[in-house]
Chain A
């Protein structure tokens, strides 16, 4: 079993940037989710400035690679869709951050 911080869970090779995270829109979504426990669609929409359709499609992509979880619950009969960053998502974002730092360092 892999440990929670195992970098090889990411679908990318060691030096290649994760194409899932490298998209500005998805990077924004993951950045927002990293700072909170969980949030709903409207919150992420407001903070990323994406359109509803765009956000929905990016969230689906992130869910497919297991970087986020999307769960639906009812609070006082009102539906609420919770979006949460997974451990895989957190690790992938951290790996991406480190790779970017290294790449920028090489530009010096």
Chain B
């Protein structure tokens, strides 16, 4: 298994090269560059712009910019952000904890709720509770996150529930005690977490329901029941154990998108995370910040898949690495 993991890490190299070169190319195809908008500023002379263009290597052909960036990356330096006058790793590092907090809690909540109700829906198929839950999951799957976010914001402002409209902290956060700080962030997280977790929850619950339903139809379940096992044991020991495999793959994907999956919600709710940073970077053509984001996203996706494969092997004895 160790050799397998090492091999998978080596597979990462060509994939990252592909991802990064392709995204760099696409970004270069966008009209203008970081300095274009500044050309319309009467306060910035053409000479200063030329000097900046040379310093940022924007006057060099795209492949040279890419190779320079790549050689820096090999030394674990993701380059400088034009917009922030700071190392990309620092800029991204500022935002990662915020996004992890939001996505992490939303994902955990979503899984904790979706799995039991998925199982429940499957076991009690076509009961009234199944129908109600199914209705809500359909609603959850069909409403886009950003729309639900705006809708909730509107409700919150007009209902006067005292919930903040976006952001992560209140005025005066610096002077709060630790307990107040935790409570303040929690208050700000309420809506974004609700939005994100309903999105994840809805599809997860549908998966779980259909997987359990499929397993329940299989012969070994009939056998188990015929042996006189308790229904609880049949469901949780035999049915769920087998139904969970496809969800592990899904879990890997979610792990991969834990940094990027919340982007739209972050932007609507003004959450200072990676997603809203990425939007600013792309719009400002801040090449290396975008590249840094993409590389981290790529690594997360590959690692997520790897984790899923390993977990799958642990959970399903039929799978072998060699």
- Note whether A and B form a binding pair: no
A residues with a Cβ closer than 8 A to B are none
B residues with a Cβ closer than 8 A to A are none
